[in-house]
Structure 1
């Protein structure tokens, strides 16, 4: 069965819970027979730390103390059903969550992750950052001068992917000082704004990112008409 086009859902700046609600609806649709695939794009409206599935192995007491400490900074905290450990999401960051049916696409999970890296690398090339690179497993994401600019954490259930990548555009990187991003001791983070030495917004990079995504996954993107404001099924809190 040949996969169909991927519809793009551009949420704009929304609470992190809103992007999850949109993603969950798209996952249900993609899992149905003949269901549509989607690419959910958003920018977090406020700071939030998210803990992936590997973070749960640290123990419940330690996890509760960590959550208390991070909430005290004025950020939200969410447990996320994705791979990986602890990371940060906030304003100035692009969240790109592809909801793809890997069985229909005959696409192994590792190649899907490589495709996400290729999309982020393609964007960096378009912005004249040719030294961006992906590193060998177990490291994921995209790096510049030893610092991570794009984090990747995914989930796959019933052959349908969720979560995806977080790319720092003009993110306040000081939020990362309070954690060990993705569990990688001694390695820092960076952003497009820092690397290009100018203010780079999420809106500015959306079109080149979509071009890079199409190139990486060899797919066709569609852009359904989007009503003003958030769809009614996207949580605003």
Structure 2
């Protein structure tokens, strides 16, 4: 079974919950494509968005206690549980969310190798933007780091070899939102952004093309752009 192109859905600013719903539609499409013999509809996808409002999200572990959740909500943020690995983190304006929906069985890629590929994607993007000092840390730590500060968080889900969720890259994110949590459950670690590290304002739009170039290199694929199919 040969791989087709990866369909890119670039949503722009959207509520986090809406991006999640579209991602789930893409997961269902990928499963349906695997079940069909021969060419058919969309298989693999890449959902890109910028959270339109601040939200704290957590994975399969690490939901906040009720009092902590109420305090976060009082700051004007939404709360969301996500079907991914990892603990609580922040998503908001100025951040690029990338949800690759890929078939790891088709790609003959183990889950740990997939996470390493996402890290390599982030590292290539950083080199393109002039940050050669970015690095990945040994497992169990994930993501892309500059010193002891995380630039890009990674949290994935894989069901029946189909991936979902992915990475969150701080471009011009207001980093003070992270002050109210222990990001990803990592005590003593910080967070940073492209704008902070490069000393200039770097928007999500600025990084989209170099991100896509890096994605094509790492996952050895062609990209086709699709209109937003809706919510």
Give TM-score scaled by structure 2 length.
0.94
Task: Say whether 1:92 aligns with 2:94.
Answer: yes
Aligned to 2:54: 47
Task: Say whether 1:103 aligns with 2:105.
Answer: yes
Query: 1:184-203 residue pairs with structure 2 within 5 A?
Result: 184-203=186-205
- CA RMSD between the two structures: 1.1
**3-state SS, counterpart of residue 55 of structure 1:** coil
Query: 1:75-154 residue pairs with structure 2 within 5 A?
Result: 75-154=77-156
**3-state SS, counterpart of residue 57 of structure 2:** strand
Alpha-carbon distance in structure 2 between the residues aligned to 1:27 and 1:219: 18
Aligned to 1:59: none
Determine if contact 1:2/1:105 at 8 Å carries over to the other structure. Answer: no
Alpha-carbon distance in structure 2 between the residues aligned to 1:51 and 1:183: 10
1:69 to 60, 63, 71: 71
Query: 1:12-31 residue pairs with structure 2 within 5 A?
Result: 12-31=12-31
Moved over 6 A (4+): none
Q: CA deviation at 1:231?
A: 3.8
Cα deviation, 1:42-100, whole Å, max 9, x if unaligned, reads 000000000111215xxxxx632222121011000001110010000000000000000
Give TM-score scaled by structure 1 length.
0.92
Alpha-carbon distance in structure 1 between the residues aligned to 2:193 and 2:124: 15
Aligned to 2:43: 36
Alpha-carbon distance in structure 2 between the residues aligned to 1:117 and 1:3: 22
Determine if contact 1:214/1:220 at 8 Å carries over to the other structure. Answer: yes
Aligned to 1:8: 8
Unaligned runs of 5+ in 2: 37-41
Alpha-carbon distance in structure 1 between the residues aligned to 2:167 and 2:68: 23
Q: CA deviation at 1:2?
A: 2.2
